[in-house]
Amino acid sequence: MHDLRDWTYDRHNTVDDTPYGGGPGMVMKTEPWGDALDEVLADGYEAGAREPVLVVPTPSGRPFTQRLAVELSARPWLIFTPARYEGIDRRVMEEYVTRLPVYEVSIGDYVLAGGEAAVLVITEAVARLLPGVLGNAESHRDDSFAPGAMADLLEGPVYTKPPSWRGRGIPDVLLSGHHGRIARWRRDEALARTVAHRPDLIARCDPAAFDKKDRETLSILGWRQGPDGRFGPAPSDVEE
């Protein structure tokens, strides 16, 4: 972690200025960011690090997804540039994209006061995919959005001891010891939760990702396969 003001040279340690063209807010200056990035990159390369990825949190960036977290987890080194105010002078990104990969990333359709919280979100999502971080290396394989069978699906409900709490039990199948039935139940619950909370994910799924049982479950949930092969809510039988 670095303090950007360490690369300022005026008595006020200025890191921002008014925007060209007018308008409210302040824009982060090129000089502090350029000097900071040059020094951090030089130190890393001197220590033998391979080419990093520059990650720029911004509401105008590409959506941060589990797929992107997996991609970033395979990179040897990440540099984050959390901005404040109206953001960083565009010329900084234009400069560094000529020297290394630059990913402008958004964690959601909302605006924060600064990019630090976004960096924490991205860091945690990426770090938990690294070997040795999780106690069980298989833990992330059934996560929501995990590559493979869970791609574009939300994880279903989970339960732990005690088996009864305030009169509420757990599904019998989870106590059955039948791994196939448990796996099917979890898959069905994932489909149901995704239909309820993120139907857009089901709609964009490759139909080939759904087996016969998946299709039966989606039919029960009121979804049908359209002419283009993709699944969507079944038309109402009642004409309005």
Residues annotated as catalytic are 59, 86, 128, 143
- E-only strand ranges, the chain: 16-17, 27-28, 53-63, 78-80, 102-106, 223-225, 231-233
Burial class (CB in 10 A: 0-12, 13-18, 19+), 153: buried
Q: Is the dihedral of CA 4, 5, 8, 14 positive or negative?
A: positive
Between CA 58 and CA 112 the distance in angstroms is 9
User: What does the block give as tokens for 10?
Assistant: 């005026």
* DSSP code per residue over 36-87: HHHHHHHHHHHTT----EEEEEEEEEEEP-HHHHHHHHTSS-EEE---BTT-
Between CA 33 and CA 185 the distance in angstroms is 51
